[in-house]
Amino acid sequence: MKKIVLSAVIGAMPFVANAQDKAPSVEEMWQLIQAQQAEISKLKQQLNTTSVKVESLDVKVEATAEAVDSGAAFADNSLAAWAQKTSLGGYAEHHFNHFEDGDDQIDAHRYVLYIAHQFSDDIRFFSEFELEHGVTGEGEPGEVELEQAYIQWDFHKNHSVQFGQFLIPVGIINETHEPDTFYGTERNRVESEVLPATWWETGIQLIGEVAPGLTYNAAIHSGLEVPVDGGSAFRIRSGRQKSAEANAEDLAFTGRLKYTGVPGLEVATSFQYQQEITQGAAADDAGAFLTTAHVAYQSEGFGFRALWAGWDIDGDDFEDADADSLEGWYIEPSYKINSKLGFFVRYSEWDRGNRTDRDFEAYDYGLNYWLYPTVVLKADYTDSVGEGDEADAFNLGVGWSF
């Protein structure tokens, strides 16, 4: 009200100033009052409109803030739920090899990334991507490989089925080969050549426990395609197709029984049959049967591993090449002085057939030093015996998993 009176006074000041010259008539004063009243009404209307707009803006700002908070909370909850159900991991190893009869070599041997996701309580996804030897491309030594990618469905208590690409259940290191889990810079040659690790296929696999500590695997999957000519002829390791547009004319069947009912003990045997191990490249059917058996034991500081594996292959091509059977075995005692330092010795024999120039022997001995339970430094020496392409070598390595 004070502002209205003041406005009226200010509006009347020009007339007051001229009062000495000429005093306004009653009619002029009434016109002046009406004009001032109209101006006051206009100002009141503008003020009311501004107040309404401000109140409306406050409501909109508050609603927007609530929506933003709600959306952010929803996004945070979704992201948290995804992260809680998704696992990341991997492993890597770098090697230095000093060969007595060859050039020294440094190799970024492997770098593997592991991703898993849990869709529900009984459906999960597992995968591994691997980069070997640091660089890929034409003329480069490395490869990028999909090592695992499968869905696992726990369809019954203690029983599951896997669909997709998985590691074949044979030997000791084929399924568990992180560098901190075994002795020696390089993986042992028996499991690398005869089995041959790392070995994966695509198919369907049943896994389960039939009694406390007694488990089974039963799988049907893509098979090997072992060449019958060229420099890699009859070499089992060269038959891995790695699920890369793999020839599937002849599938393979693998089964395993494993017992871990005694603390620290693992005993297992595996069998595989493939009716045609060359996928039709041989002159006649080259049926192949693989048998493996191993024992692994760890009690306080003492450790022991032993494995035998053998192939029996039919067909004239393999018989004529004296490659119709091949086998290998090794024993490996070890001892950990404490949680960080351990020593091992390994004796191995293996072949790629029955030819005398395909028989190999080697002694490996050295130590592992664990900087952390999953970070290890390695130093060992390989002493090759007899004929073969294995060179004596001093090896250094570093490996880790997470």
DSSP string, 142-203: -EEEEEEEEEEEEEETTEEEEEEEEE---TTTTT---GGGSSSSSPPHHHHHTS-SS-EEEE
**Neighbouring residues of 260: CB distance < 8 A, sequence distance ≥ 6:** 213, 215, 266, 267
Write the pLDDT tens digit of every residue in 28-48: 666 666 666 666 666 556 555
Distance of CA 121 to the CA centre of its chain: 20
Report, as an integer, the average pLDDT of 281-288: 93
What does the DSSP 8-state code read for residue 357? Answer: G
Measured at the alpha carbon of residue 108, what is the angle toward residues 102 and 113, in degrees to the nearest 5?
A: 150
Write the pLDDT tens digit of every residue in 248-282: 999 999 999 999 999 999 999 999 999 999 999 99
Give the global pTM: 0.80
CA torsion sign for 250, 328, 131, 142 is: negative
**Neighbouring residues of 397: CB distance < 8 A, sequence distance ≥ 6:** 93, 94, 95, 96, 179, 185, 186, 377, 378, 379
State the DSSP H helix or E strand holding residue 398, giving kind and residue range, or none if neither. strand 393-401
Report, as an integer, the average pLDDT of 107-133: 97
Percent of the chain scoring above 70 in pLDDT: 78
DSSP 282-311: SSS---EEEEEEEEEEEETTEEEEEEEEEE
Average pLDDT, the chain: 87
Say how far apart CA 242 and CA 231 lie, in whole Å: 20
Distances (CA, A) of 163 to 153, 167, 221: 8, 12, 10
Write the pLDDT tens digit of every residue in 176-207: 999 999 999 999 999 999 999 999 999 999 99
